[in-house]
Amino acid sequence: MRDANFIAENNAKHMWHPMSHAGEMRANPPKVIAKADGVHITDDQGHRVVDGVGGLWNVNLGYSCAPVKAAIAAQLDDLPYYSTFRGTTNPQVIELSYELAQFFAEDGLTRSFFTSGGSDSVEVALRLARQYHKLRGQPERVKFFALKKGYHGTHFGGASVNGNANFRRAYEPLLPGVTHLPAPWDYRNPWGLTDGAEIARRIAQDFEDEIAFQGADTIAAFIMEPVLGAGGVIVPHESLMPLMRKICDKHGILLIADEVITAFGRTGAWSGSRLWGVQPDLMCTAKAITNGYFPFGAVMIHEKLVETFETSKSAMAGVFSGYTYSGHPVGAAAALAALSEMKRLDVASNAAARGAEMLAGLQGLKDKHALVGDARGKGLMCCIELVSDRETKAPASKEAVAKVYEAAYSHGAMVRTSATNVIISPPLILSSADVQTIISALDAGLTAAA
Ligand SMILES: Cc1ncc(COP(=O)(O)O)c(C=O)c1O
């Protein structure tokens, strides 16, 4: 390992960072996070803070999860890699598929297809949806519906169903045949409504209208995050997902739940679909499945799809998708240990309890600081949206957002800013004291930016 001067001198010089402008990163290099323990991270200057970001919504069990580390180390000794392409497999991935079928039994999901991360999981789910209809003799069902403000990763399929222009414009043209419905958002929506149930009803009505216009027999699937994450932690009304499920069923459209963030407890329920009492046809997972220690994901498949794929004699019935690292034994070993730890610690219950404290704290900040236009969240996915004028909801300046971020960091908490949103997604093992550290750091941040 080179010395600290070398690291500082070369920071952002020879790499382009994801979701960033390469020139801006050279001019203003990122913080170097050098160590982590529990729910804390420490930078190369020795400054230690509570990680309000949880890595990137993924380090749910924190940074000192010994069983996951031990499982990875042991697996590297036993079998560091072997392919799961047709003809070979490994014991860890067999056990993991069994455990996931138990874990997601309540969601009706009985099969897994393994990937290397969230974008892969979305890509596979979109493909399986089209293939399902082809195998059932409805080859024209190729279109997708999604929500504005939804985030579904960066592959071409995922970017096509993404509901944020930032992830689309530079890479267009994207997949044809994608329709976006309004975001289920009571703070900003096209109707000027604040009643979540009415907003949900309007979105469902728009969905029905579009289905009638386009033809149900042209539509493969509707994809949504149970709670929209990267788009600014938008919590739909509890009626939305059940309404969309009903419409999908009525018209033979598959429902894909993108649970890359929400699976494994973050919302306070073990899955976001379960939170809203819905069984999806396909569920995309990744991130916390290995506690973020190994790049890994799983598409979970509902029992309803199983017979079509497993008994079809069609030449198209094989799943001709997959990755070199699908079912990686080290990832599978990490996931087995992570699943066991998340259940042992009941992190979903802690996310619900600490999330309620966090949201109360954020609402207190809204009462105190005019810069906060909205405070929202579910479980341990929370957000404050910064505005320069509460009446008009005009966005806060870039400078104000940057001040909140820097001052919060110097006062003890890493948070994530995305446009004018300050997003909080800490490890699910957070304590009440850690919640208060994040709130008081944000309080200092908002004071500095006032
Ligand atoms: C809901 C959702 N889907 C997909 C993705 C993409 O996952 P990855 O970054 O692992 O490719 C993300 C990442 O944040 C996500 O939040």
In this structure, the answer to whether residues 230 and 360 fall within a common structural domain is: no
In this structure, the answer to whether residues 287 and 415 fall within a common structural domain is: no
In this structure, the answer to whether residues 225 and 268 fall within a common structural domain is: yes
The alpha carbon of 445 and the centre of ligand 1 are apart by a number of angstroms equal to 28
CATH at 224: 3.40.640.10
> What's the pTM?
0.98
Burial of residue 198, with CB atoms counted within 10 A of its CB: 0-12 exposed, 13-18 middle, 19 or more buried:
middle
In this structure, the answer to whether residues 195 and 162 fall within a common structural domain is: yes
Quick: pLDDT tens for 98-129. 999 999 999 999 999 999 999 999 999 999 99
**Token code pair at residue 137:** 């003799």
Quick: pLDDT tens for 278-309. 999 999 999 999 999 999 999 999 999 999 99
The alpha carbon of 153 and the centre of ligand 1 are apart by a number of angstroms equal to 5
- Protein residue with least CA distance to atom 10, ligand 1: 118
Q: Which of 287, 314, 345 is the last residue of a domain?
A: 345
**What atom in ligand 1 is closest to the CA of residue 153?**
6
- Residue 186 predicted with pLDDT over 90: yes
**What atom in ligand 1 is closest to the CA of residue 158?**
4
- Residue 1: which pLDDT band, with cuts at 50, 70 and 90? confident
For the chain, what is the domain count? 2
In this structure, the answer to whether residues 75 and 101 fall within a common structural domain is: yes
**Token code pair at residue 44:** 């190369």
Q: Are 285 and 298 in contact (CB under 8 A)?
A: yes
In this structure, the answer to whether residues 105 and 214 fall within a common structural domain is: yes
In this structure, the answer to whether residues 158 and 218 fall within a common structural domain is: yes
The alpha carbon of 118 and the centre of ligand 1 are apart by a number of angstroms equal to 4
* Of 123, 233, 287, best ligand 1 pocket probe by most atoms within 8 Å of the beta carbon: 287
Flag whether 22 is in a domain.
no
- Dihedral sign of CA atoms 104, 107, 110, 113 in order: negative
**What atom in ligand 1 is closest to the CA of residue 57?**
14
In this structure, the answer to whether residues 130 and 79 fall within a common structural domain is: yes
Residue (of 337, 353, 377) closest to 430 by Cα position: 353
Measuring from each residue's beta carbon to the nearest atom of ligand 1, which residues come in under 6 Å? 117-119, 122, 151-153, 225, 229-230, 258, 260-261, 286
The alpha carbon of 450 and the centre of ligand 1 are apart by a number of angstroms equal to 33
- Residue 39: which pLDDT band, with cuts at 50, 70 and 90? very high
**What atom in ligand 1 is closest to the CA of residue 225?**
1
pLDDT value at residue 102: 98
What mean pLDDT, rounded, does the chain reach?
A: 97
- Protein residue with least CA distance to atom 13, ligand 1: 153
Q: How far apart are CA 312 and CA 374, in angstroms?
A: 50
Residue (of 285, 279, 290, 336) closest to 109 by Cα position: 279
In this structure, the answer to whether residues 53 and 186 fall within a common structural domain is: no
**What atom in ligand 1 is closest to the CA of residue 122?**
4
Expressed as residue numbers, the domain containing 145 is: 68-345
- Protein residue with least CA distance to atom 3, ligand 1: 152
The alpha carbon of 433 and the centre of ligand 1 are apart by a number of angstroms equal to 29
The alpha carbon of 119 and the centre of ligand 1 are apart by a number of angstroms equal to 6
Flag whether 20 is in a domain.
no
Quick: pLDDT tens for 146-170. 999 999 999 999 999 999 998 999 9
Q: Which of 306, 329, 345 is the last residue of a domain?
A: 345
Q: How far apart are CA 61 and CA 54, in angstroms?
A: 9
**What atom in ligand 1 is closest to the CA of residue 56?**
14
CATH at 424: 3.90.1150.10
pLDDT value at residue 440: 98
User: DSSP code of 250?
Assistant: H
Q: Which of 345, 369, 404 is the last residue of a domain?
A: 345
In this structure, the answer to whether residues 294 and 325 fall within a common structural domain is: yes
The alpha carbon of 160 and the centre of ligand 1 are apart by a number of angstroms equal to 14
Quick: pLDDT tens for 409-438. 999 999 999 999 999 999 999 999 999 999
- Protein residue with least CA distance to atom 8, ligand 1: 118
Flag whether 258 is in a domain.
yes
pLDDT value at residue 221: 99
Quick: pLDDT tens for 55-82. 999 999 999 999 999 999 999 999 999 9
Flag whether 24 is in a domain.
no
